[in-house]
Amino acid sequence: MGKLFGTDGVRGKANQYPITPEMAVRIGRATAHLFSGFQDNNQRQTVIIGRDTRISGSMLELALASGICSMGMDATFAGVLPTPGIAYLAASSGANAGIVISASHNPFFDNGIKIFNNKGFKLSDEQENRIEELVLDENNAKRSESIQHTGRVIQMKNPVQLYLDFLKQGLPVHFSLKGMKIVIDCANGATFQVAEKIFRELGAELVVLFSDPDGININHGCGSQHPEVLAKTVLEKDADIGLAFDGDGDRLIAVDEKGFVATGDQILGACAVSMKKKGILTNNILVTTIMSNIGLGVALETHGIDHVKANVGDRYVMEEMIQHGAVIGGEDSGHMIYLDQHTTGDGILAALRLILCMKQENRSLSELLSVVSVFPQKLINVDVKGKPEISSLPDIVRVIETAEKDLGKKGRVLVRYSGTQPMCRVMVEGPTAEITQKHCEKIADIVKEVLG
């Protein structure tokens, strides 16, 4: 067995290593072992399990529960719920930990397992390494053989309503969406119940897209990765805003009233500037990743906001936020963290906070987003057979250096491996779309030759 954890949990094709029932039992057992004793001994020990709408979710849910119960700990099923909902429930219910079964924005045939501690935070590298050790340790399985009082499977009561109530807690008293027309795209995923419910309860005139999951249509031509239908519908319905979530509900991509698809960088920048105006941008900091567009950095400098860049992955954004005392951070991909309210990225929460900024400034979304001018950017994903250090590959290093020399201070190049897929991501930003495209394609071609 190789390394299990990538940048966001354990990920792979369902029913193939490491996303098999056998491995899920081991991971459940290891999680229970790691987090046992974190709560009062007089209280039943439990791990909350939630999932998205993938057809393989039930299979993995039952396998994880078997592993947890074999260690004498209860497994509490929350059913289909966004990833941030499980993080909240793990922190608020007295559970020992929370597990989410999801492959986020990936196709239905993928799945994954990510774990939250009893405070609602994703695991540290050290904790992930410890779980890997326990999964590989045959003696850990033998420990369960002496346990006579095995755990039970419990169905959680009203998890959707509990999460919905939490989302509303961060809004001002009497906050209302009456008079707003909103289009939401639920990606046939985990937000399909909560998102529609909360926006209707807040009074919005709502148009709902892709909210009929069948196990295999999650993220298919919809959601945060495919906002084309959402943008078209916003224009057709003359809506104020469009909101696209990904399969597990921890990402947001927004569409303005003109049908323009906003990036995570633009949303983060606009909200940070708005928060500074209101005096609630703690420590005057926005945390993003090294993938952030140059235009965001320019906008933040213009408005006197400090910009901290983390490694790719919302886990690393969170680490920098905690270290610097920031309350807002995220990724261009749509992960947005509001640490003054939640412990992880939350697409629905980010949508509500974005609309709150619009209402407080009495501006349309296009006006709000205008503070960030995005530099032309091109991203090409190249399938690879292996992931050797980029710096050890002379042909790739050479073409990168040539591009960087040509771009100078008017652009940048970033070549990195995906943490969740066998892929190398080639990203180039430049002064014009033509120059950006040219350099990105040249680098991607060499990457394909060397690693494809």
Residues classed as catalytic: 104
Site of tokens 């008079």: 179
243: left (phi over 0), alpha (psi -120 to 50) or beta: beta
Reduced to 3 states, what is the DSSP secondary structure of residue 448? helix
Query: Can you tell me the distance from the alpha carbon of 114 to that of 9, in angstroms, rounded to the nearest whole number?
Result: 4
Query: Can you tell me the distance from the alpha carbon of 281 to that of 275, in angstroms, rounded to the nearest whole number?
Result: 5
Quick one: tokens of 398?
């050479």
Query: Can you tell me the distance from the alpha carbon of 246 to that of 41, in angstroms, rounded to the nearest whole number?
Result: 38
Our measurement of the distance from residue 427's CA atom to the centroid of its chain's CA atoms, rounded to an integer in Å, reads 20
Indicate the helix (H) or strand (E) that contains 336.
Answer: strand 336-338
Query: Can you tell me the distance from the alpha carbon of 333 to that of 289, in angstroms, rounded to the nearest whole number?
Result: 10
Query: Can you tell me the distance from the alpha carbon of 412 to that of 392, in angstroms, rounded to the nearest whole number?
Result: 20
Find the DSSP H helices in 333-432: 347-361, 365-369, 394-407
Q: Which residues contact 382 (CB under 8 A, 6 or more apart)?
A: 423, 424, 425, 426, 444, 447, 448, 451, 452
Residues 116/86, Cβ–Cβ less than 8 Å: yes
Quick one: tokens of 438?
């040219």
Q: Phi/psi at 284 (nearest 5 deg)?
A: 55, 40
33, 36, 38, 44: CA torsion to nearest 10: 150
Q: List the helix and strand counts (H, then E) for the chain.
A: 15, 19
Query: Can you tell me the distance from the alpha carbon of 339 to that of 72, in angstroms, rounded to the nearest whole number?
Result: 33
Strands 336-338 and 328-330 come out as antiparallel
Residues 233/69, Cβ–Cβ less than 8 Å: no
* DSSP β-bridge partners for residue 205: 181
Q: Amino acid identity of 320?
A: E
